[in-house]
Amino acid sequence: MTDGVPEPEPRSTLADTIAECGDRLESVGLPRESDKFIIGQIGSLYRATEFLEGLIDLLYSPIKKSESKNTWSSAS
């Protein structure tokens, strides 16, 4: 759950961590879908909405996972 955006961490930290989790699962022979993440927003802060929409777009886009790392700038 979030009521804002990640600070002082780079915006890509959560997406990179989720991708790393999938990589670790695959490295031991498990499918990436073995783990689930539930992410929710409290309130209506525009920056939080923008961050979460970007996260969803990044995680569900058809790009290669190697391209998904560090695609966001760390500026808020």
For 28-73, how does the pLDDT look when each residue is reduced to its tens digit (9 = 90+)?
999 988 888 888 888 888 888 888 888 888 777 654 444 444 444 3
The pair of structure tokens assigned to 6 is: 């990640």
Q: Report the amino acid identity of residue 60.
A: Y
Give the alpha-carbon dihedral of 44, 50, 55, 60, to 10 degrees.
Answer: 100
Task: Give me the number of domains the chain comprises.
Answer: 1
Supply the pLDDT for residue 2: 64
DSSP secondary structure code for residue 28 in this structure: T
Q: Report the amino acid identity of residue 34.
A: S
Supply the pLDDT for residue 63: 45
7-36 pLDDT per residue, tens: 788 888 888 898 899 899 999 999 988 888
What's the domain range around 32?
A: 13-68
Residue 34 lies in a domain: yes
Give the list of residues 6+ apart from residue 69 with CB closer than 8 angstroms, or none.
12, 15, 16, 19
Residue 1 lies in a domain: no
pTM above 0.85, yes or no: no
Residue 3 lies in a domain: no
